[in-house]
Chain A
Amino acid sequence: MARLVAKAVSKTYGATKALRRGDLEVEAGEVHVLIGSNGSGKSTLCKIVAGSVRPDGGQLLLEGRPMTVSGPEAARKLGIGIFYQELSLAAHRSVAENILLSDLPGGLFVNRGALNAKAQRYIDLFQGVTGDDFHADATVETLRPDQRQLVEIMKALSSEAPVLIFDEPTSALDRAQVDRFFEILRRLKDDGRSIVFISHRMDEIFALGDRVTVIRDGETVATKRIAETDPAEVIRLMVGGEETLVAAEPHQPTVVAATAKTVLAVSGLSGAGFRDVSFNVAAGEILGLGGLHGQGQSTVLRALFGAPSPTSGSVQLNGATLNPSSPRATIGRGLAYVSGDRRRDGVISGRPILENVTPIHAVKQRLALASPSALRAKAKPALEALRTKFATFNHPISSLSGGNQQKIVIARWLIDRPDVLLLDDPTKGIDLSAKTDLFQLIRKLAAEGMAIVLYSSEDAELLGNADRILVFNGGRITRELTGEQRTRFNLYQAAYEAGEAA
């Protein structure tokens, strides 16, 4: 009899069906891997089991008995501990307090000595791999991302629960930390605990797991014994059959690409988060960057733009060397960069639309004076090309919807055309119609000869628009997909392949 069973659990948020039909059976003494692409509902399923999300339907059984979990506290009492993907730490409290947060020793006064001694047991499990300045009294705020992840792991372990759930616990850890963590998990498994483990890394999954459950679009599609499957099958299950079709909206590879002149040539580029990246982009080409989130795609684009500069490697623009020392320098040479984080990198909040759409024009033309009427005349065609909806140029940009704000940020690059357009997940958080407008424009710009590099966290956008896709894994390009190779299956396979340790 399975220790933990989830039967057809479901959860809807407004219009989003986060989980349609989640099934999961976990035995005592096994490591059960849960896998599925981003947004497929893995975290939602875990949170339902751990009591932090109320399901809309379905049933949970523990040791064969139906259980209702009224909240995280109840789940913990029932014997379910969880590592949250988004972490659940109190930033201003100490490591020890965080590890024992859910069952701090009672009484009016906290006995710091007893508390630290208890927490130290869990800290000692990771002795030698925690890195500097990691101790029971350190404030979580001061820790590095990997150290915070370790605290969240220790916190989950401290529950000493028979069922432990780990939702992407290794994303920030280095190889030594992962190895230690796996040793601990194996010991726990041998003690008879049940472990649910989510990871995107095939090597980890196949090294550690006993069984794997695949979730696709909010539905459990299969559970397999690890010993009886292989990465290709798991990916096929995630994708849903081995399709050969490119995408819903196939974009024909540019015919001229073979003969078109290379506009941007990147060779051996390295920097924080990426290593030895080389590629060329031709005039009229849309080059896609793919792979799991945070594998270096974004940092490479920023490095090309000079924010911050790469540490080594060379960049040629139209045959001449480009030194990406700062955005100002690269803009002057004909580069453009659109960030997906428009609130941070793009929008000059509180300022009028006019001031938001003209800064690049001012830099490129070295304008000293600002004539609003002349600037309006320049900006208007650029805004119309993107079908931007706005009242007047004097309205603050913050009065617009997210999609229209992003259109304004993009339009600022269109007054004086750049040679290379670097798009860093440009559609993040914008509405569907704005996305459509944006990709129509991008294809038009490419057709007119602009070289475009597109990183998108949505695979459909890449498959539907890129002539060629470079897949990033662990800061390197691990695969190039051209022509008929641009399938969802190939993209997933390359993305989920074992990367090198970060």
Chain B
Amino acid sequence: MSTVEPTATKRFSFMDILKAPLLIAIALIIALLLLGEYLSPGFASGQQILRLLIVAALMGIVAAGQNLVILGGREGIDLSVGGVVSLAAIIAGNLMGGENSGIVLAILGCLAAGAIVGAINGIGVTLLRIPPLVMTLGMLGVLQGLLVVIRNGIPSGRAAPGLSQFVTQPVFLGLPGIIWLWIVIGLAMAFLLGRTMLGYRIYAIGSNEQAAFMAGMPVKTTRILLFVLSGMFAAIAGICLLGYTGSSFANVGEQYMLPSIIAVVFGGTALSGGKGGYTGTMAGATLLTVLQSILTTVNIDESGRQMVFGATLLLLMLFYGRGKALRA
């Protein structure tokens, strides 16, 4: 036997903490909650925290798809997620029309729509070799136009009571259904990325596409699949968002594009692909939601919040971008 023993485990150091995005994110979440409670007593009450988690779940579900696309590398990014969220909210509202009996059909319809959008993105990126940034930005434009057309033709639908209840009311152990759904998605993502060959393949393609191809992996099919999954996750978020707001309104989903990317990067996934995971992204989504809420508490309006988000992303790139530059 010629394998050598692992070198003695390194001593724990402060630098290691800085390198663990998950720990940073959790520490920041707690710090922000304390800050919020200080600024506005009641901010960190149990009820408030539940509400924050619901909002975080919506963002986190969108970020799950974003995370997969980014992991797949080749500058993978999906800017069309916001459009898909809005589209799904409208489709769901109309298909269920406020009736519980329409929920199943609505879910199927939305998933199909999300999958189709994702497939077009994926085909554009792989077969037509359009850069993901351009492809999905173009798709976002198409979806926004489509939404205007739809809105002029049909009334915006309403959420079924069952859906609203699932999203906002406790269903099990005091937690709303959407939080359970998010936990299930978290477990499913961990399983997919760590315990399936598809997961290995996603990392391989994101890390060295040429080597993955030479090892017989179906590179293009896999990348298309990632965009399809991203579309479907955004569609699920769109249905849940309808349940949260009760009825769909113009461009409800638009607010998700930037945060879904920030959550992924905050969670330690490299924008260059092949490195990271979903657990960190969940923490990142939660952190962003708390931050958003604090900004609202101190009366910073939507445009101000967008500015803070954009600046956050740039700061993150500054920190994490270093490592990427060194590796290149």
Contact = CB atoms under 8 A, between A and B. Distances in A.
Interface of A: 305, 307, 326-328, 331-332, 337, 339, 344-351, 355, 358-360, 362-363, 367-372, 383-384, 387-392, 395, 412
Interface stretch (B145-153, B198-206, B293-301, B307-315): B198-206
Contacts of A392: 6
Contacts of A383: 3
Contacts, number: 97
A421 to B, nearest CB: 14
A389 B196 contact: no
Given A370-B195, A370-B199, A339 B208 contact: no
Contact of A391 (B7, B198, B214, B215): B7
B6 A388 contact: no
Interface of B: 1-7, 194-201, 203-204, 207-208, 210-218, 274-275, 327
Contacts of B196: 368-370
24 contacts: A327-B213, A345-B210, A345-B211, A345-B214, A346-B214, A347-B208, A348-B203, A348-B207, A348-B274, A349-B208, A351-B204, A351-B274, A355-B204, A360-B216, A368-B197, A369-B195, A384-B1, A384-B2, A387-B2, A389-B3, A391-B3, A391-B5, A391-B6, A391-B7
B1 A351 contact: no
A400 to B, nearest CB: 11
A363 B2 contact: no
A284 to B, nearest CB: 25
A360 B1 CA distance: 24
Given A351-B274, A369-B196, A391-B7, A359 B203 contact: no
Contacts of B212: 348, 359
Nearest to B199: A370
A389 B2 contact: yes
Given A389-B3, A391-B3, A347 B216 contact: no
Given A371-B195, A389-B2, A391-B3, A360 B204 contact: no
Nearest to A394: B6
A85 B212 CA distance: 33
A358 B196 CA distance: 12
Contact of B210 (A344, A359, A387): A344
Contacts of B2: 384, 387-389
The winner among B203, B213, B215 for most chain A CB atoms within 10 A is B215
A387 B201 CA distance: 27
B214 A307 contact: yes
Given A387-B2, A389-B3, A391-B6, A355 B214 contact: no
Nearest to A361: B197
Contacts of B6: 391-392, 395
Contacts of A391: 3-7
The winner among A331, A359, A384, A387 for most chain B CB atoms within 10 A is A359
Contacts of B327: 350
Given A350-B207, A351-B207, A370 B213 contact: no
B5 to A, nearest CB: 7
A370 B200 contact: yes
